[in-house]
Amino acid sequence: MIPITRLSAPRTIKAEHHELHHLLTRAVESGGRIGEAALRVVDLLRPHMQKEEEFSLPPLSVLAALVKGDPIPDPELVLSMSERLRAEFVSLVREHDEIVRALQRLIVAARADGRTDIVEFAEKLVLHAEMEEEVLYPAAILAGEILRHRRARQS
């Protein structure tokens, strides 16, 4: 088992977020309608991703340890993050809805300018938001539920 010294989002998710941010920055640098539309996405995405890094995605880093039955170094922190995610789930989904609307405007602008690379990127980001809602957020909440059940069994 690799010890978890600081609870953070899994490296693979961080890498994907970094790539998406990089591509979005390139879209902003395109200027014109595309740049304006991409800047709106940045304005919406930045605070949203901060929340994800703060409490939504870090519980995912303990999933493999949970499956193996390994001890979790800071279960109270995982529980706290998981509970906060459950409490803010609806709000995060609403933020996704707003981000997706902004991405759709970016797609329209990119299509009008013949920028299929930006269209493909924006469509990928829409799918990423859907994956978070359908898979990642529920998995992070379930990590907390598993810990809660383990704790109850040990009592």
Residue 138: predicted pLDDT:
98
Question: Domain for residue 50, yes or no?
Answer: yes
- 123: which 2 tokens? 């469509």
Question: Domain for residue 31, yes or no?
Answer: yes
Question: Domain for residue 6, yes or no?
Answer: no
The C-alpha atoms of residue 142 and residue 73 are separated, in whole angstroms, by 17
Question: Domain for residue 149, yes or no?
Answer: yes
Residue 154: predicted pLDDT:
81
Question: Domain for residue 134, yes or no?
Answer: yes
Domain count of the fold of the chain: 1
Residue 153: predicted pLDDT:
85
pTM, full prediction: 0.90
Residue 107: predicted pLDDT:
98
Question: Domain for residue 69, yes or no?
Answer: yes
What range does the domain containing 59 cover?
Answer: 11-154
Question: Domain for residue 4, yes or no?
Answer: no
Q: What is the pLDDT along the chain (155 residues), one digit of tens a residue?
A: 344 447 899 999 999 999 999 999 999 999 999 999 999 999 999 999 999 999 999 999 999 999 998 999 899 999 999 999 999 999 999 999 999 999 999 999 999 999 999 999 999 999 999 999 999 999 999 999 999 998 888 87
Question: Domain for residue 139, yes or no?
Answer: yes
